[in-house]
Chains A and B, each alone.
Chain A
């Protein structure tokens, strides 16, 4: 009877001890995993943020460059038109003569 009780008690004690250690281990594992996941998530978000910043920077640069290109083209065009208009004013005589001939002859 005593032997049986001792045996059961011993088993129960071992079981309880194992369960306690197991729970402690599991808690430790879960805590470590949670921490690792949080760190990973943070790192991932950092990378994403970095990428978005780079994207914005790239697009801003391109936009500025394109605006500058358009402005340059507009200025060049205006200058060319100014020059061409002067040039054409002298050359329009010929065209006017042709119109006159066409109308009168």
Chain B
């Protein structure tokens, strides 16, 4: 408000100073042209001031804002870059430690894997041993069966030879009788047994 009053006052006084010399040199009757010029001046510059002041003010405000922003942006970008650089430096400082950690982790993983493989191999080895033991047991059982079979076979052959040697036609017929009797019933066993015994003895 005060600025406006000042501007209006300047607009009224300025033409008085501008046209002061010309008014002094000429006669007082020249006052009217002076007044006209002053009015013209006031209207022209007043109008210009009235119409241009707002856009000019806006433009200057906008421009100053842009400059401020560009300065801030440049400052921020610099700060951001410096911050990143600081981070990178920190990372670089901790790099040796990180590398050592990676190596240690890989070593641990490798060792764990190695232990697992060895453990698995030992388990497989135990399984193989168990299977071998079973195979040996099966072999032994087979051997025992074979021996038993062989024993019975030999005994049967020997028994056959012995019986053949002692077998007479009478004993043979008695043996057949005995078999028939055994098949027909066990009640009469005792009498036939006696007959057979008497024939062999």
- Residues of A with Cβ closer than 8 Å to B? 4, 7-8, 11-12, 14-16, 18-19, 21-22, 25-26, 28-29, 32-33, 36-37, 39-41, 43-48, 50-52, 54-55, 58-59, 62-63, 66, 69-70, 73-74, 77, 80-81, 84-85, 88-89, 92-93, 95-97, 99-100, 103-105
Contact A74 B162 (CB under 8 A): no
Q: Which residues of the partner chain A approach B77 to less than 8 Å between Cβ atoms?
A: 11-12, 15
- Asked whether B196 is an interface residue with its Cβ less than 8 Å from the other chain, the reply is yes
Q: B96: shortest Cβ distance to chain A, in Å?
A: 9
Contact A47 B111 (CB under 8 A): yes
Q: Taking A19-B84, A92-B151, A96-B159 as contacts, is the C-beta distance between A33 and B121 under 8 angstroms?
A: no
Question: Of A39, A43, A103, which contacts B163 at CB under 8 A?
Answer: A103
State which residues 117-145 of B face A: CB under 8 Å: 117-118, 120-122, 124-125, 128-129, 131-132, 135-136, 139-140, 143
Contact B154 A92 (CB under 8 A): yes
Question: Of B67, B132, B147, which contacts A85 at CB under 8 A?
Answer: B147
Cα A66 to Cα B121 in complex, Å, equals: 15
- Asked whether B98 is an interface residue with its Cβ less than 8 Å from the other chain, the reply is yes
- Asked whether B20 is an interface residue with its Cβ less than 8 Å from the other chain, the reply is no
Q: A69: shortest Cβ distance to chain B, in Å?
A: 6
Q: B63: shortest Cβ distance to chain A, in Å?
A: 11
Contact B197 A18 (CB under 8 A): no
Cα A46 to Cα B135 in complex, Å, equals: 37
Contact B163 A104 (CB under 8 A): yes
The interface size bin for chain B is 35 or more
Prevailing SS type, chain B contact patch: helix
Q: A17: shortest Cβ distance to chain B, in Å?
A: 8
- Residues of B with Cβ closer than 8 Å to A? 67, 70-71, 74-75, 77-78, 80-82, 84-85, 88-89, 91-92, 95, 98-99, 102-103, 105-107, 109-111, 113-115, 117-118, 120-122, 124-125, 128-129, 131-132, 135-136, 139-140, 143, 146-147, 150-152, 154-159, 161-163, 166, 171, 175, 193, 196-197, 200
Q: B34: shortest Cβ distance to chain A, in Å?
A: 41
Q: Which residues of the partner chain A approach B70 to less than 8 Å between Cβ atoms?
A: 8
Cα A63 to Cα B75 in complex, Å, equals: 76
